[in-house]
Amino acid sequence: QLNYKFIKDFELFLKSHKPKDHQKPCGQNTAMKHIERFRKIMNMAVKYEWLTKDPFAQFKPVFKKTSRDMNTLL
């Protein structure tokens, strides 16, 4: 069932799953980018009438504010 609970569970999975080829799970912003990509696919499915309603209607991604070091801006 593709609903709000599925999306929240997917977010939790992204943040807690340790891939075999990486040393740590996704961070907050990386998980949100993956969810944004998934949202685009679901919006296309709604547009083509493959889905009757948008499962992301109540979901709002939350990004963590990051600050960049002055050396990385140059």
Tell me the pLDDT tens digit for each residue of 35-47.
999 999 999 999 9
pLDDT band at residue 72 using 50, 70 and 90 as cut-offs: low
Least-confidence region, from 19-23, 35-39, 48-52: 19-23
Cα separation, 10 vs 67, whole angstroms: 27
Q: Where are the alpha helices (DSSP H) in the chain?
A: 4-16, 28-47, 70-73
pLDDT score for 61: 83
Cα separation, 28 vs 62, whole angstroms: 8
Q: Where are the domains of the chain?
A: 4-64
Q: Which residue has the higher pLDDT, 67 or 27?
A: 27
